[in-house]
């Protein structure tokens, strides 16, 4: 017999026993144990009632002639230990204390089924020495299903005997009605109702009233369709018809509480015995479980998003290294070739176009790494208008063709000092958020201008510092945000997007970038009126700042010092060496760290600067610098690499005070960086350390 048939047979018989024998627990126990033994196939089935002190009292066993066996000391010990089990359990001979007792008694697999209502245990059902082990798991499931009804029988009997004086004063009809009501409705901790074929609720217990928030009287005026939140009226009626036809239905659904909130329930329904027009159903509140599942799904989606971004970062990092190396060679040789031509020659103009294309390619790589959060942070003086203009095409691709991207650059913008990749990251995050807030067509406006914080104007927010700032504003005409959302938007992992559509880290990252650069950020938004983010970045106060913004106007400063150049890529070793020689430096070239150590021993303190790649065979650039500086304490070091920030950091290069230049770089950038390293205050000589 299948699981459903077992459960249906047992439950129907148990309900009949509740109605027919609720006054006599002994008769009820005889019928129950006999029916279970016949259906399941156990040598002995015994039903015990749990006394207030916790001991077990035998109230019925099948076959009856075997009742005396429970006086045996070892079997009495087995019953005592079984009374401590809290869930229906299959016990195998030799497993644990109870299994050991079974083995001593020469019994096979047995079932222990505690009978409880809520946290109170009212009895114990034992199925000893199962004769046929086939389908034993289905038998356990069936026993779990009927344990609730058996528990009701015992509690009903307990209440009946304790209310005997009151019950005797009433008519026999009233006694039967009260017993049925107590057993089926008021005792159950799970929700319970009886409904007719139209879905009208005919009776309901207090537990469901507490679960739903409705009063008993309110629910009796309602139908199942009124509280059902996800299933249509037609589906509810069809479900009722199936149950009335004999189907035992179990499902999960969502009811609507009186306050409008969801009530997640597990429903078990079947036809009311003796009636062709009514069904009864138990409802178990599973709201906490569902909420935990939803939270787990949300966290899994966040993890998947983070893993996806990490994969993008790894891909970008792998491409960036080789791409940056190739661009370094292209840019370097182009610059060197241009220096040998007169500005008026057509070939010089062609080379300038090559240089610009290579620089744009380098910027593309930089932007890709910025979005993947793999770019090394390298602040420099820049014109915000130029930086924004350089990313507009990529932003337009991000937001799509339906949204118009408007650009309003401010006139005579002051310089700022900041890593341009951070500007890219800010704009990408803000524009993607604006895109998601716009339904259909819309507009995103990017604007820059100079502003001054003084007594007459201070932006909203905590303690803005007075001074001169450059404003970067991003506004949209999307759905906007309410005040409660505005209070949380910069918190990590806070997001209003659907699960899987955002990590909740974008605005938190922007906030961190702005604060890292001593800036200030504000946001203004109202529902239905779009949003506008304003970022105020401090003006870079340096009289020579304007000269550094345009490479064509910058002066190249070379030198005469001896430089040891270490690079395992031959094309870059050749190109950077030529750059350094053009700048006037004496260059010692090494293709490996071992060769660099040999040259250092040969030239000793004549070497003032070591320019080395970070990731190389034999040893890393950091190890090479440390090894040489141990012998020549005044030797300066400059690292260069085309790898991403996370890999460089693992080699100890991005620490405070360490000098680094990201590939690809121009001759002017290299010249500036070398002078910056060499001009730092140091001892005049680089003598070997005393040993």
For 129-139, write each residue's pLDDT tens digit. 887 777 777 77
**Domain at 555-678, CATH from 1.20.58.220, 3.40.50.300, 3.50.50.60, 3.40.50.2300:** 3.40.50.2300
Higher pLDDT, 298 or 599: 599
Higher pLDDT, 21 or 319: 319
pLDDT higher than threshold 60 for residue 505: no
pLDDT value, residue 409: 93
pLDDT higher than threshold 60 for residue 142: yes
pLDDT value, residue 658: 66
Q: And the tokens for 115?
A: 């009978």
| Confidence class for position 230, pLDDT limits 50, 70, 90 | confident
pLDDT value, residue 231: 87
Q: Report yes or no: 650 and 604 within 8 Å, Cβ to Cβ.
A: no
Strands 403-408 vs 442-453: parallel, antiparallel or unpaired:
parallel
Cα separation of 400 and 484, whole Å? 29
CATH topology of domain 188-285: Beta-Lactamase (3.30.450)
Start and end residues for every CATH 3.30.450.20 domain found in the chain:
188-285
Return the SS3 of 54. coil
| pLDDT > 90: percent of the chain | 11
Is domain 377-554 in CATH 3.30.2020.30, yes or no? Answer: no
Higher pLDDT, 487 or 268: 268
Start and end residues for every CATH 3.30.565.10 domain found in the chain:
377-554
Low-confidence winner among 21-25, 466-470, 521-525, 571-575 (lowest mean pLDDT) = 21-25
| pLDDT > 70: percent of the chain | 76
pLDDT value, residue 651: 45
Averaged pLDDT, 133-146: 76
pLDDT value, residue 691: 29
pLDDT value, residue 173: 58
From the list 151, 131, 150, the residue with the least C-alpha distance to 40 is 131
Averaged pLDDT, 491-495: 55
Cα separation of 107 and 130, whole Å? 8
pLDDT tens digit sequence for 257-279: 999 888 999 998 988 877 788 98
Gyration radius (Cα) of the chain, Å: 41
Higher pLDDT, 210 or 492: 210
Averaged pLDDT, 312-316: 62
pLDDT higher than threshold 80 for residue 167: no
Averaged pLDDT, 167-172: 55
Start and end residues for every CATH 3.40.50.2300 domain found in the chain:
555-678
Higher pLDDT, 307 or 327: 327
DSSP for 74-138 reads HHHHHHHHHTT--S-EEE-TTSHHHHHHHHHTT---EEEEEEEETTEEEEEEEEEEES--TTHHH
pLDDT higher than threshold 90 for residue 489: no
Cα separation of 419 and 377, whole Å? 6
Averaged pLDDT, 618-645: 82
pLDDT higher than threshold 90 for residue 83: no
| Confidence class for position 586, pLDDT limits 50, 70, 90 | very high
pLDDT value, residue 536: 92
| Confidence class for position 438, pLDDT limits 50, 70, 90 | confident
Nearest 10 degrees: Cα torsion 619, 621, 625, 628: 40
| Confidence class for position 165, pLDDT limits 50, 70, 90 | very low
Higher pLDDT, 236 or 664: 236
pLDDT value, residue 545: 47
Give the architecture-level CATH label for domain 3-167.
2-Layer Sandwich (3.30)
| Confidence class for position 682, pLDDT limits 50, 70, 90 | very low
pLDDT value, residue 464: 58
pLDDT value, residue 568: 87
Start and end residues for every CATH 3.30.450.40 domain found in the chain:
3-167
Averaged pLDDT, 36-55: 84
Average predicted confidence (pLDDT) for the chain: 78
pLDDT value, residue 547: 44
């Amino acid at each position: 017999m299948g699981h459903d048939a077992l459960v249906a047979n047992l439950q129907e018989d148990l309900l009949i026993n509740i109605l027919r024998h609720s006054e006599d627990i002994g008769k009820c126990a005889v019928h129950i144990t006999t029916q279970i033994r016949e259906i399941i196939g156990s040598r002995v089935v015994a039903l015990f009632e749990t006394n207030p002190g916790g001991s077990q009292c035998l109230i019925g066993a099948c076959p009856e002639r075997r009742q005396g066996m429970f006086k045996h000391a070892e079997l009495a010990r087995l019953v005592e230990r079984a009374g401590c089990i809290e869930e229906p359990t299959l016990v195998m001979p030799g497993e644990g204390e109870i299994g050991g007792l079974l083995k001593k008694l020469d019994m096979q697999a047995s079932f222990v089924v505690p009978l409880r209502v809520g946290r109170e245990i009212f009895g114990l059902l034992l199925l000893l020495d199962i004769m046929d082990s086939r389908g034993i798991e289905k038998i356990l499931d069936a026993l779990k299903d009927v344990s609730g009804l058996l528990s009701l029988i015992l509690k009903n009997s307990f209440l009946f005997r304790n209310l005997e004086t009151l019950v005797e004063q009433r008519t026999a009809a009233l006694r039967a009605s009260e017993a049925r009501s107590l057993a089926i409705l008021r005792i159950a901790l799970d929700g319970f109702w009886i409904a007719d074929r139209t879905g009208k609720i005919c009776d309901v217990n207090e537990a469901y009233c507490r679960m739903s928030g409705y009063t008993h009287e309110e629910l009796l005026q309602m139908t199942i369709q009124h509280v059902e939140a996800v299933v249509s009226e037609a589906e509810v009626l069809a479900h009722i018809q199936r149950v009335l036809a004999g189907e035992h239905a179990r499902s999960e659904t969502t009811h609507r509480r009186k306050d409008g909130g969801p009530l997640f329930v597990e429903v078990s329904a079947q036809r009311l015995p003796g009636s062709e027009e009514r069904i009864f159903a138990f409802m178990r509140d599973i709201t906490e479980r569902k909420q935990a599942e939803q939270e787990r799904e949300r966290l899994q989606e966040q993890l998947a998003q983070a893993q996806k971004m990490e994969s993008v970062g790894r891909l970008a990092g792998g491409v960036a290294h080789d791409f940056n190396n190739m661009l370094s060679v292209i840019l370097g040789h182009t610059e060197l070739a241009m220096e040998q031509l007169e500005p008026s020659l057509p070939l010089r103009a062609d080379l300038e176009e090559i240089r610009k294309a290579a620089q744009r390619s380098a910027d593309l790589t930089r932007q890709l790494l910025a979005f993947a959060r793999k770019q090394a942070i390298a602040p420099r003086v820049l014109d915000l208008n130029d930086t924004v203009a350089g990313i507009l095409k990529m932003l337009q691709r991000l937001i799509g063709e339906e949204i118009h991207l408007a650009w309003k650059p401010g006139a005579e913008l002051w310089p700022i000092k900041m890593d341009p990749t951070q500007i890219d990251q800010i704009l990408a995050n803000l524009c993607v958020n604006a895109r998601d807030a716009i339904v259909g067509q819309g507009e995103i406006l990017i604007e820059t201008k100079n502003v001054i914080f003084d007594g007459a104007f201070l932006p909203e927010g905590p303690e803005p510092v007075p001074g001169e700032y450059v404003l970067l504003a991003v506004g949209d005409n999307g759905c906007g945000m309410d005040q409660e959302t505005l209070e949380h938007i910069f918190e990590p992992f806070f997001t209003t997007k659907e699960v899987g559509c955002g990590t909740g880290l974008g605005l938190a990252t922007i906030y961190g970038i702005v604060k890292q650069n001593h800036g200030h950020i504000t946001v203004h938004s109202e529902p239905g009126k779009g949003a506008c983010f304003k970022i105020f970045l401090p003006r870079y106060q340096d009289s020579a700042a304007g000269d550094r913004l345009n490479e064509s106007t910058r002066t190249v400063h070379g030198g005469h010092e001896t430089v040891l150049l270490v690079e395992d890529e031959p094309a870059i070793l050749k190109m950077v060496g030529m750059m350094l020689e053009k700048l006037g430096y004496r260059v010692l070239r090494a293709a490996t760290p071992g060769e660099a150590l040999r040259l250092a021993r040969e030239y000793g303190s004549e070497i003032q600067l070591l320019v080395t790649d970070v990731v190389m065979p034999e040893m890393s650039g950091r190890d090479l610098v440390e090894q040489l500086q141990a012998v020549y304490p005044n030797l300066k070091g400059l690292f260069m690499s085309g790898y991403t920030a996370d890999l460089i950091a693992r080699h100890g290069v991005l620490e405070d005070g360490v000098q680094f230049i990201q590939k690809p770089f121009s001759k002017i950038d290299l010249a500036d960086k070398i002078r910056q390293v060499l001009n730092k205050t140091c001892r005049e000589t680089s003598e070997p350390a005393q040993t």
